């Protein structure tokens, strides 16, 4: 048996438990990215999400405490595509932290490499108040995009903290292995409902719908970010009746008055559908997100009998 010098033993133990290095401070716009960053970074990172999963990710109240978090951040991960345009740029400026400015090494635009839907084909205009001018920014609702984000985070963390490269690689591999298993499970659960037509409140779900073969035939909002109007609501009622749409999926931060009215007129059922980790306490991580929503969808459909 080899003898370890008592002092050397102490040094080794410290290195292995990770307390010898300061954790990288990772700030994310969404809890979804914080969940993935935590899975990849393990104890080498500390994460903090600005928007909570129960808040509309387009419209976040900028708290003074966010500036402090950003001023100390080593890495900022944002969804991009202008999802955060309403609150993040002034916070970055006020943080006076050059590292995390877009274009600098401490900023990661998570949309890069992801499957982005509804890209504009003509000149971008905000004249209509559309909050999705560069394509749909809710792309993490496809778990395959979550995989792309996980790979980008692993590469970025290794760049900022080269000593952790092996750990990040191992964690990324474990994350992807788990995702492989879960995707099979989710696909199996959703397969019987392929082709189901749904109405959603906001355009949060095109990536989810593509992945799980649902057809979104309308939204309660006339355009992303524009509140329901009487004319548009009547059109949606017509479409739901014509196509016998069974479900209206509503994100947790919207008023259910209009969806409930539409449901009353049509017999469609309103269910809460959570676009982000933290939407409710039961959705603790990125895997829980799909587990929860898919189970909710399946039980609602089972109860519909149409």
Nearer to Zn ion, 57 or 146 (CB): 57
Nearer to Zn ion, 161 or 221 (CB): 221
Which of these segments, 106-114, 173-181, 220-228, 293-301, binds Zn ion (CB under 5 A)? 220-228
Nearer to Zn ion, 59 or 229 (CB): 59
DSSP 225-266: TB---HHHHHHHHHHHHHHT--EEEE-TTS-SHHHHHHHHHH
| 247-250: strand order across its sheet | 215-219, 197-200, 247-250, 269-272
Tokens of 128: 């209509």
Nearer to Zn ion, 224 or 246 (CB): 224
CB of 83 to Zn ion, least distance (A): 7
CB of 182 to Zn ion, least distance (A): 25
Per DSSP, helices labelled H in the chain are: 6-17, 31-41, 64-71, 88-95, 143-160, 165-190, 206-212, 230-243, 257-266, 286-304
Half-sphere exposure in the Cβ direction for 67 (13 Å, CA) = 9
Residue 34 CB partners (closer than 8 Å, separation 6+): 26, 28, 47, 48, 49, 277
Nearer to Zn ion, 196 or 204 (CB): 204
151-180 residues in contact with Zn ion (CB under 5 A) are none
CB of 132 to Zn ion, least distance (A): 5
CB of 204 to Zn ion, least distance (A): 6
Nearer to Zn ion, 205 or 297 (CB): 205
Nearer to Zn ion, 224 or 279 (CB): 224
Nearer to Zn ion, 275 or 278 (CB): 275
What count of other Cβ atoms lies within 10 Å of the Cβ of residue 6?
7
Which of these segments, 114-122, 183-191, 223-231, 281-289, binds Zn ion (CB under 5 A)? 223-231
Per-residue interface string for the shown chain with Zn ion, residues 63-92, x marking contact by CB under 5 A: ------------------------------
71 vs 97: CA distance, rounded Å: 5
Tell me the C-alpha to C-alpha distance, in Å, between residue 106 and each of 26, 75, 254. Answer: 9, 4, 33
Map tokens 């992807």 to a residue: 176
224-253 residues in contact with Zn ion (CB under 5 A) are 224
What radius of gyration, in Å, describes the C-alpha atoms of the chain? 22
Which of these segments, 106-114, 160-168, 174-182, 216-224, binds Zn ion (CB under 5 A)? 216-224
CB of 13 to Zn ion, least distance (A): 48
Residue nearest to Zn ion (CB): 224
CB of 136 to Zn ion, least distance (A): 7
Given a contact cutoff of 8 angstroms between Cβ atoms, the answer to whether 118 and 76 are in contact is no
Count of chain residues binding Zn ion (CB under 5 A): 1
Which of these segments, 8-16, 145-153, 219-227, 269-277, binds Zn ion (CB under 5 A)? 219-227
Contact positions vs Zn ion (CB under 5 A): 224
């Amino acid at each position: 048996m080899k003898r370890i010098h008592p002092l050397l033993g102490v040094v080794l133990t410290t290195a292995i438990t990770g307390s010898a290095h300061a954790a990288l401070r990772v700030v994310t716009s969404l809890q979804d990215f914080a969940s993935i960053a935590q899975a990849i970074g393990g104890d080498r990172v500390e994460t903090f999400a600005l928007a909570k999963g129960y808040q509309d990710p387009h419209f976040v109240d900028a708290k003074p405490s966010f500036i402090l978090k950003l001023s100390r951040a080593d890495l900022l991960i944002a969804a991009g595509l202008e999802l955060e345009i309403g609150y993040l740029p002034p916070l970055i400026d006020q943080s006076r932290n050059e590292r995390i400015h877009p274009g600098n090494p401490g900023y990661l635009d998570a949309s890069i490499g992801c499957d982005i839907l509804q890209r504009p084909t003509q000149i971008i205009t905000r004249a209509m108040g559309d909050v999705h001018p560069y394509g749909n920014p809710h792309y993490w609702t496809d778990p395959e995009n979550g995989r792309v984000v996980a790979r980008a985070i692993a590469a970025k963390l290794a760049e900022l903290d080269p000593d952790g490269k092996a750990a990040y690689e191992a964690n990324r591999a474990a994350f992807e292995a788990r995702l492989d298993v879960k995707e099979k499970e989710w696909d199996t659960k959703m397969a019987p409902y392929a082709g189901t037509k749904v109405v959603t409140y906001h355009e949060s779900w095109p990536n989810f719908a593509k992945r799980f073969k649902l057809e979104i035939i309308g939204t309660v909002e006339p355009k992303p970010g524009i509140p329901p109007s009487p004319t548009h609501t009547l059109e949606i009622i017509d479409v739901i009746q014509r196509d016998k749409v069974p479900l209206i999926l509503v994100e947790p931060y919207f008023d259910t008055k209009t969806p409930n009215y539409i449901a009353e007129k049509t017999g469609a059922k309103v269910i809460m559908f959570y676009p982000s980790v933290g939407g409710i306490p039961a959705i603790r991580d990125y895997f829980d997100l799909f587990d929860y929503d898919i189970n909710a969808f399946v039980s609602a459909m089972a109860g519909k009998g149409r």
